[in-house]
Amino acid sequence: MNLDRLSQPDSKALDALIDAKFDLAAVPEEHRVRAARIKGLLGLLDAYPAASMMAQARQDDGLCHRTMSFVRRHRRREQERSQEALPALSLVSSSDSQDLNDPTALRFPSFRLNVRDVIGLAASVVLLIGIFGPTMANARSHAIRQSCRGNMSGVALGLDAYASDYRDSLPIAHQIVDGNDWYHSLANSANLFLIARSGYTSLETLACPGNACAITDDAYADENHNWPDLATSSFSFQNLLGSASRPLWRLAAAVPLLSDRNPFEVALWQDAPPCAVNSNAPCHGPDGQNILMSDGCVMWMTNPVINGDNIWLPQGMPVPQCGTVKLQGNELPTYAGDVMLIQ
């Protein structure tokens, strides 16, 4: 019984009845009338057929199960109807009061994004970039490297055709220049340019895909004798200047004849600090360089030293204790078999 609904006199009469153990004769006179009414109301509980109703409930237990089954089926059907209606309703704004069956009415999706959704989307994008960014960069670098290798193979075909016409010789446009200044005169690059000017290969073949400044239009070769500057030239060729004996094409012992850019020469024309003595070509990052051998084979090298000979520097060039070197632009191979690839 909820005592909050009783008046104060009734509450006191109920307390007195309980204290008297439901004996009206023991209830004080001032509360006896109200206590008698309360006892009469409580007596109705004694007449309530609880036992018979429990027995009936046990007999009707199957009815209860059937009723609950019906309720569950009804809820399941309502959920299925809601899911079927969700795609159609999501395409219509909640503020749209037009008839859904009107074929002339235009419907547009209604999207709502909160700050949490935006942050989650941004985090997902950053995560995807972190995962796939390096992979895509590596794939692009590998593709450039392979394309450069293919171009060097094309240069080998041009050198082979030239050597067939000139007794196995390599192309010579300039043999000796004043003071052996190959850097300012670009004399050695003119030797390699000769096979494009003579039609043995194309300027596109003589270009590395990693060099954005490379000239690929063959019309330029028809009107010129050399690249305009070192930035437009992609490959370093064996230094053929000076009086030393020059290597021949397809020797019995293969030696490097062509490679990606000499990093020491790049540092020279970019006025950059000296390079470490074992630096790789810059076209493919610090990974290495493609090299064309005198037997026509193209290989990938992660170190510029072959049999103790640095392909970028003349043999015996002094190296300071700091381990860095800077070319002057007039160095020559020390002897006939000394490999020195320059532009």
Q: What is the DSSP string of 148-163?
A: HHHHHHHHHHHHHHHH
Q: What is the rounded CA–CA span in Å between residue 189 and residue 293?
A: 18
203 close to 192: Cβ distance less than 8 angstroms: no
Interior CA angle at 297 toward 258 and 149, to 5°? 65
pTM above 0.85, yes or no: no
| Residue 289 DSSP class | E
State the pLDDT at residue 192: 93
State the pLDDT at residue 4: 54
Tokens encoding 230: 């070192």
**How many residues are given for the chain?**
343
State the pLDDT at residue 105: 47
State the pLDDT at residue 7: 84
Answer positive or negative: Cα dihedral of 194, 196, 200, 201: positive
Tokens 């006939």 correspond to 336
State the pLDDT at residue 181: 82
242 phi and psi angles, rounded to 5 deg:
90, -175
Residue 242: CB atoms within 10 Å: 15
From residue 195, alpha-carbon distances to 6, 163, 198, 273 in Å are: 116, 10, 5, 33
Tokens 């429990």 correspond to 54
Angle between helices 29-43 and 8-19 (to 10 degrees): 80
195 close to 201: Cβ distance less than 8 angstroms: yes
| Residue 301 DSSP class | E
174 close to 191: Cβ distance less than 8 angstroms: yes
Answer positive or negative: Cα dihedral of 25, 27, 28, 30: negative
Alpha helices in the chain (DSSP H): 8-19, 29-43, 50-59, 61-90, 115-165, 182-185, 187-197, 218-223, 263-269
Average pLDDT by consecutive 10-residue portion of the chain (343 residues)? 68 85 84 84 67 58 72 81 58 46 50 72 81 75 89 94 91 70 86 94 93 92 92 92 73 87 90 89 88 93 91 88 86 87 91
Tokens 């026509």 correspond to 296
